[in-house]
Structure 1
Amino acid sequence: MAQQRWPVSRRTILRGTVAAGVLSAGAVAGAPGFAAPPGRRVAVLGGGVAGLSAAHELVERGFEVTVYEARALGGKARSVGVPGTGRDGRPDLPGEHGFRFFPGFYQNLPDTMRRIPVPGNPDGVWNNLLTVPEARFSRRDSDDILLALPDSITAAQATPDSIRETLAATITTAGRMPPAEAMFFANRLMVFNTSCDARRFGQWEHTSWFDFVRGHERSHEFRALVSRSLTSIMVAAKENLASTRTIGAMGEQFLGNPLGLGNDGGLDRVLNNTTNTAWIDPWVAHLRGLGVRFQLDARVTELVVRDKRIQAARVNSGTVEADYFVVALPVEQARKLWSPQVLAVAPELAAMDRLLVDWMNGIQIYFRTPLHISRGHTAYVDSPWSLTSISQNQLWTHKLPSFGDGSVADCLSVDISDWHSPGVLYGKPALECTHEEIFREVWAQLSAHLNDREQLIRPADVHSWFLDPGITWQGQRNANADPLLINTAGSWDARPNAHGAIENLFLAGDYVRTDVDLATMEGANESARAAVNALLDVAGSSAPRCRTFQLRRTPELEPLRAVDTDRYARGLPNMFDDRT
């Protein structure tokens, strides 16, 4: 696709003049130079989902874009080869930070995926997504729940009665809770779903999910499935810390919209191959074809401020000068760049120090025989480490025997969401376990859930395992190169907008204020769109703005939200909230 040039104002060109002695974006010390038109050069600092999304939107609008990445393109989303495992021309076994999960309510990211061409795919990378038909909720010493997931929606299903009936059936079937507790939870969902925006931000943003569902009053079964599963297992949050506004919005998508009405696709989708093969590699190739430059092994160390603008960025290989800078680094890396000089111009960025990061990392276990656990994701409800998994060979077009030494028939990709609770085997949290101990502990917790009725996994079938390389043993505990932003009640006030007081600085990352409001690939992509739109405004560009999508709310409840607007303004509780 040819690049289309969009006009910029004379003022923009003048203020983008290169300072003497500083290299242009697209060139670092010791690297080939690249001459870009004044006022059009953008340095994207970080090559994860946020950085690639920003580069994609910018280059399509005629900007000259260079992405600077310290490690590997794709960030936490990328797949990682297990070093030294390939034999006889086969690639290394595929590992990953954690399995990829694309809920149907994602809209921004799928829009980008449709614009990444793949031969034979009419909708590009998007066609590499497939809907899984079921989810398993595995209980220790108890019957497991296999929940069928709807694949498509028909007009006949899209009625208020069918929505209510499906919601009730979902809670009853998935929860297996006593009717009174199921009814209580349905009522709490109704409270949130009928809450106006002012109440969501003014009350529920500052209320933990655990308090909202009154976890201290409920049964163990209720806390395990409702309080814990919707937070630490489903979205890597913590029920006693996460805001009701955020977790409630996720419940609104999964449970308040059980038919997936208005979704981009099926409720639960995954890629049909390793992440790099199915998505990241075609994306990078497409961006290169559009003219994006990539500089790897470029770690950003400083932003140079002059006249309330970013004059340059220091990287380990030299100095980068550009007209605009998009910081697309994870929150724990981005806030290291907020020097006294940066904060003097944008003091609001100091609040980012209050944002919490925690760990959610994966381990892959490779088997010599196929697995028959679930045709989708499995949540191990009683596992101390909040484990979830998916068996991958059943889903991939390139089957696992074509990797490694040819003897691997399946891979159970497991996410560890709780690194702080003691395990069942060593009595230690994952944070304090060696890598071998982590594998053995994960195996013990999986076995307790999967082998209590029939033997679904056997030690004799294990070929090998691979822990996320971001986890490194430091002698007494692990370090993590890739922590994850954790939503906490009240954290919205500490999260920045995509653009602030520094005119040519823009932020893209899942910590930036977005509608999805969660550490997700969708949040990273949505924030990049907001950053690009702000950049276009500052540049005086006439290019079309990036489209942004909002989470769905049940339209039948809109009149009740209007009523709640008045009630909240008068200091009254939501009409369905019986809390006194």
Structure 2
Amino acid sequence: MTGQRMSVARRTVLRGAVAAGAAAGALSATTLRPTPAHAEPGRSVAVLGAGPAGLTAAHELAERGFDVTVYERRALGGKARSIAVPGSGRDGRPDLWGEHGFRFFPGFYRHLTDTMRRIPFGDNENGVWDNLVAAPEARFSRRGGDDTLLPLGRAGRPWTTPEDFRETVSSAISTTTKMGQADALYFANRLLVFNSSCDARRYGQWDTISWRDYVGAGRRSNEFRMLLSRTLTTLLVAAKDDLASTRTIGTMGEQFLGNPLEIANDGPLDRLLDGPTNEAWIDPWVRRLRELGVKFAGAEVHGLEVADNRISGARVVTTSGVAQTITADYFVAALPVEVARTLWSPEILARRPELAGMAQLTVDWMTGIQFFLRNPSAIARGHAAYVDSPWSLTSISQNQFWNRTPMSGLGDGTVQDCLSVDISDWNTPGILFGKTAKECTHDEIAREVWAQLQAHLNDKQILLRDEDLHSWFLDTGVTWNAAQRRNENADPLLINTAGSWALRPESHRAELENLFLAGDYVRTKVDLATMEGASESARTAVNALLEVAGSTAPRCALFTLYRAPELDPFRQLDETRYAAGQPNLFDVPL
């Protein structure tokens, strides 16, 4: 019997040795530089899926000498990849680049960026990580109202008391958003309530309440409802504020609004890549994985076979249409939630019944469209949010950041900029056709988004001109079903609704000893459908695999999110108050 099919008793004995080397697990993965080695028998891993979760798992395992094969049905990089616009290149120039949605890397991302430092890129001292550039501002655009240009970066002053926190945050909100002081102070206090809540309250109380109810949006001003309830949730994820989990949105608010000095961050608040995602990140990553010995196979997973308490094989269909069963010592399922939950057969659910809860997890659409422009845009030096847009639009003008691959070197040579737009609401009628995005043809989607952008940007001055529009590109995952007169989407997004934490699984349980789950639906500290959550889940899966394998290799580094140390005493007090059924100390009417 191989080392991977050892008995539970043997694994238990080995845990003592692993625990003795636990200090190695605390090492930052940036210090881990094992050389590729021929994997020993019994150390083969099948990674199912090649998005950020799958590639992260493959990377960590290959560095530790495992024999890794990644199986992917479509394209390496998953939703994070760039998508070439077919036939757009002319006279030897490469095609224009489209994408599922614009990529950005907040400063609190640490798992993903830690991996990026270990992906070589030319002469970059820190590998792909050096391709990240900061966005200096953000724009909140109102239809028929004053827009706000918000400088990004370390701002505010240190605070030491809860009262100081309320004053500092409320002052920043009222100044930058022109919101009334009463609303700003109320919201600052809601942030204080969450930030001073213990973990038990966050999971037991706040996860079961929607963000809209938590912030009391129905009792506040329209400006409050639009900015701090609706826009805040759609900026983070394609969620409605009446459905989104307070614990999820509150945790993100704790990182963005509760840490103005960017303490312990990996970098500036808002960062982007300096070129197309594939060129600046995904392709170098795949090259590095191949150097480490990772193999890639084009195949779609159709099912998992179970023998005893193990996955004995995965049924796949290759890109050439051949059905086969693949075997490995370990399986890492790094598939999106809507795909992974179709694989849970009665045999699997009998061993891990909690996986049945995944059927109740919610997915929705957050998908990108790119507008290629003949002239540079001057909308913002960073992201823009279109506060009143029915389709909850956000955008980024990319050429200003693409120092590596300027737009003029792509396509037919006349494109000078790309306005990459995310559509976060596909279920609300638009202003041009009166239809939802799901009901619009692709041409109607492009015209509707363009109209909503112009309604926000051209009300005071002309920032988006029809004559500048060269062409557009909609994510290829969205396809038009002519018979149903509706769109279909191959790449929906997990939405963390109120109460959904109880439905999400852990990465591993002993009842299926060689199956490990990785993806943004797995329980993580980040707790949001993001590349960072995918990376954290993959590292968690690999650490569990190393434990089962009895490996003494250093564990993957896992990072914690920022929490203001000034509030530690109040979080400790809140543990007592929550256990006694009392509200948070600051949860009082204002």
TM-score range, shorter chain: over 0.9
The 1:36–1:111 alpha-carbon spacing in structure 2 relative to 1, beyond 3 Å, is: closer
Q: Is the 8 A contact 1:15 1:39 kept in 2?
A: no
1:39: Cα distance to partner? Answer: 1.4
CA distance in 2, matches of 1:341, 1:175: 54
- Give the length in aligned residue pairs: 550
Within 5 Å, which residues of 2 pair with 1:370-389? 370-389=376-395
Deviations 1:389-430 (A, max 9, x none): 000010001110100000000000000000000101111110
The 1:55–1:355 alpha-carbon spacing in structure 2 relative to 1, beyond 3 Å, is: same
What amino acid is the match of 1:249?
T
What amino acid is the match of 2:4?
T
CA distance in 2, matches of 1:160, 1:148: 24
CA distance in 1, matches of 2:376, 2:166: 38
Q: Is the 8 A contact 1:376 1:390 kept in 2?
A: yes
- Of residues 563-572 and 443-452 in structure 1, the stretch that sits farther from structure 2 once superposed is 563-572
1:356: Cα distance to partner? Answer: 0.3
CA distance in 2, matches of 1:383, 1:207: 26
Aligned to 1:408: 415
What amino acid is the match of 2:60?
E
**Secondary structure of 1:383's aligned partner:** coil
1:278: Cα distance to partner? Answer: 0.5
Aligned to 2:334: 328
**Counterpart selection for 1:55 from 55, 58, 64:** 58
**Counterpart selection for 1:430 from 426, 432, 437:** 437
The 1:42–1:263 alpha-carbon spacing in structure 2 relative to 1, beyond 3 Å, is: same
Within 5 Å, which residues of 2 pair with 1:438-457? 438-457=445-464
Aligned to 1:532: 542
Deviations 1:261-313 (A, max 9, x none): 211100000000000000000000000001000012x0000101011210000
Q: Is the 8 A contact 1:167 1:257 kept in 2?
A: no
CA distance in 1, matches of 2:306, 2:39: 22
1:157: Cα distance to partner? Answer: 5.3
The 1:255–1:209 alpha-carbon spacing in structure 2 relative to 1, beyond 3 Å, is: same
What amino acid is the match of 1:513?
R
**Counterpart selection for 1:351 from 340, 343, 357:** 357
CA distance in 1, matches of 2:486, 2:274: 35
Q: Is 1:70 matched up with 2:76?
A: no
1:177: Cα distance to partner? Answer: 1.2
1:11: Cα distance to partner? Answer: 4.8
CA distance in 1, matches of 2:165, 2:78: 38
Q: Is 1:143 matched up with 2:153?
A: no
Deviations 1:464-484 (A, max 9, x none): 000001000001100000000
Deviations 1:330-383 (A, max 9, x none): 000001110112112111111100100000000000000110000000000000
Aligned to 1:550: 560
Q: Is 1:311 matched up with 2:286?
A: no
CA distance in 2, matches of 1:220, 1:164: 21
CA distance in 2, matches of 1:328, 1:396: 30
**TM-score relative to the length of structure 1:** 0.92
Deviations 1:471-510 (A, max 9, x none): 0000110000000000101100100001022100000000
Q: Is the 8 A contact 1:388 1:415 kept in 2?
A: yes
Aligned to 2:4: 12
- Of residues 229-238 and 568-577 in structure 1, the stretch that sits farther from structure 2 once superposed is 229-238
**Secondary structure of 2:350's aligned partner:** helix
**Counterpart selection for 2:582 from 572, 576, 579:** 572
CA distance in 1, matches of 2:5, 2:352: 24
**Secondary structure of 1:299's aligned partner:** strand
Q: Is the 8 A contact 1:170 1:255 kept in 2?
A: no
CA distance in 2, matches of 1:438, 1:37: 53
Let me know the Cα RMSD of the aligned residues. 1.7
Deviations 1:15-60 (A, max 9, x none): 79xxxxxxxxxxxxxxxxxx96421000000000000000000001
Within 5 Å, which residues of 2 pair with 1:34-113? 37-113=40-116
**Secondary structure of 1:408's aligned partner:** coil
Q: Is 1:479 matched up with 2:492?
A: no
Q: Is the 8 A contact 1:360 1:416 kept in 2?
A: yes
Aligned to 1:493: 502
CA distance in 2, matches of 1:203, 1:164: 22
1:70: Cα distance to partner? Answer: 0.2
The 1:454–1:135 alpha-carbon spacing in structure 2 relative to 1, beyond 3 Å, is: same
What amino acid is the match of 1:465?
W
1:163: Cα distance to partner? Answer: 6.7
**Secondary structure of 1:464's aligned partner:** strand
